[in-house]
Amino acid sequence: MAASEIDLSRLPPGPTGPSALVAMRFLLRGPHFLEACRDRYGPVFTIRLNTGRTVVIAGDPAIAKEVFQGSADDLYAGAGNVVLKPILGARSVLLLDGPEHLRQRRLMLPPFHGERMRAYGETMREVAERHVARWPVGRAFAVHPTMQAITLEIILRTVFGVQERADVERLAEPMKRLLNSTDQPLRLLSLQFTSSANAKPRSPWGRVYALMAPVDALIHEQIAARRADAEPRDDILSLLLAARDEDGNALTDAELRDELMTLLLAGHETTATALAWTVERLVRTPRVLTRLREEVESGEGTDYLDATIKEALRLRPVVPGVIRQLQRPLRIGGMELPAGVHVSPSIYLIHRRADVYPEPYAFRPERFLGEDAPGTYEWLPFGGGIRRCLGASFALYEMRIVLETVLRRAELETTDAASEPVKRRFVTYTPRDGGRVRVTRLAPAASPARVAV
């Protein structure tokens, strides 16, 4: 159903005015816009975008629960993620719905089981150690690019199984260029509102396609090399090549290309941003930084580190919301919603509810220690239900290892500088200045890890 046919009078109220303006505020002033709407209309409100979408934004855990527990046949996610299609490809698990999504997801799940993470731990630590050892001492720098380099190398090694440093560089460079091409908010706007079909070379999408071609070629090269290689390996590409569905079918090359691109994009940028936000929060919260250092130095567990990671993902969620399109009229949160409407559980707004998180703007990892930790639908940086992030365990494990390495190797200077504002980068919320830090001392040589991971 086209948005113009949806009867807005039956939906919760929201900002009026030209849909192009609403879309622009939503994309360019995301956090401010969401909070302003919440203050004016309450936690559930409707926005109408000039892409033709009508979206009910829900800063309400009860609605998130209904959406995540709802039938996948009624609530399509792929349709909501369609803006990613030109890059990820039509067979990406992020874009599929119904039985096709389930098939693809089942094939991809095993390599991401919590247990498997240990196999990747050593690689994660080795990569983190090497990058942190190169951090400058005594001058401020943005931590986000170095976190991107770390998470990209980790993905290339664990997902593609790339071993040689030269190969990592060869793959990383075109990938970085592709991602950076979506960095500018205005370019992002033009990508959202221009068609990707038949893109001319100098059009916004034409430029993205030009950057994508070498990445595609490299991905296909990796698939071919791994198919030709009989040696057993434990990287994710090898596991995907060996995976079979219920009918005994394997993933095709085209499916593998789209899934690898999905893992590259969904897996490295998100985790790098979450790490940058954690550092941005830590240097502004000396109490937490000190307690964390003590825990790492004592070598006694990772409870406070894990709580700090959760609190960073709460206060600065990297993905601000998820989106589903109703395939038939549904009653959600007591509202009668028509088919065609989108509903978006707002991770950003749910994480800022004062009734769930007293003093919601304070950075306080203690919230996640002890009995009354937030519930499943109150802390949802990875979404939920049948579409919950496939890489959640991977990301949390990686964050733990990278942060533990940072805390053990680098002394970070605290600051009373203002918080870094949120900047939108494609579908993520990133720190505007990249999480600026100053290292006052760097431990001279890598010492063996003292924290059990």
> In whole angstroms, how close is the CB of 307 to ligand HEM at the nearest point?
16
> Which residues of this protein are in contact with ligand HEM, per CB under 6 A?
77, 93-94, 105, 262-263, 266-267, 270-271, 274, 318-319, 322, 381-384, 387-391, 394-395
8 Å CB contact between 51 and 81: no
Least distance from ligand HEM to the Cβ atom of residue 379, Å: 12
Which tokens go with 369?
């220690």
Closest contact distance (angstroms) between CB of 112 and ligand HEM is 7
Least gap, CB of 266 to ligand HEM (angstroms):
4
Compute the least distance from the CB of residue 234 to ligand HEM, in Å. 15
* Smallest separation (angstroms) from ligand HEM to the CB of 88: 10
Cα distance between residue 81 and residue 79, in whole Å = 6
DSSP string, 229-280: --S---SHHHHHHH---TTSPPPPHHHHHHHHHHHHIIIIIHHHHHHHHHHH
Cβ proximity to ligand HEM: between 13 and 70 the closer is 70
Rounded Cα–Cα distance for residues 107 and 101 (Å): 10
- 45 versus 76: smaller Cβ distance to ligand HEM: 76
Minimum separation from the CB atom of position 80 to ligand HEM (A): 8
Residue whose CB is less far from ligand HEM, 132 or 263: 263
Based on CB atoms, which residue is closest to ligand HEM, 81 or 181? 81
Residues 53 and 193: beta-carbon distance below 8 Å:
no
C-beta of 399: minimal distance to ligand HEM in Å?
A: 7
103-109 — which CB contacts under 8 Å span 24+ positions?
103/245, 104/251, 104/255, 104/259, 105/386, 105/390, 106/245, 107/240, 107/243, 107/244, 107/245, 107/251, 108/240, 108/243, 108/259, 108/390, 109/390
CB-wise, 73 or 300, nearer to ligand HEM? 73
Q: Which is nearer to ligand HEM, 54 or 262 (CB)?
A: 262
Q: Which is nearer to ligand HEM, 348 or 438 (CB)?
A: 348
Nearest distance in Å: CB 273, ligand HEM: 7
Shortest Å distance, C-beta 396 to ligand HEM:
8
- Work out the angle between the directed axes of helices 185-193 and 204-228 (0-180°, nearest 10): 90
Calpha distance 76→81 (Å, rounded): 9
CB atoms within 10 A of CB 370: 8
Query: Helices 392-409 and 303-315, interaxial angle, to 10°?
Result: 110
CB-nearer residue toward ligand HEM: 117 or 439: 117
Nearer to ligand HEM, 38 or 387 (CB): 387
Q: Nearest to ligand HEM by Cβ — which residue?
A: 391
| Pairwise CA distance, residues 422 & 406, whole Å | 23
Radius of gyration of the chain, Cα coordinates, nearest whole angstrom: 22
Residues 6+ apart with CB under 8 A from 83: 191, 192, 427
The residue among 209 and 394 lying less far from ligand HEM, judged by its C-beta, is: 394
Tell me how far apart the alpha carbons of residues 191 and 184 are, in angstroms, rounded to a whole number. 10
Amino acid making up residue 58: A
Residue 75 CB partners (closer than 8 Å, separation 6+):
67, 324, 325, 326, 327, 330, 343
Considering the complex, what minimum distance in angstroms separates the CB of residue 445 from ligand HEM?
29
Q: Which runs of consecutive H residues, i.e. helices, occur in 299-389? A: 303-315, 347-350
Element (H, E) at 132: helix 117-132
Query: Closest CB to ligand HEM among 207 and 423?
Result: 423
* E strand residue ranges, 13-89: 44-48, 54-58, 75-76
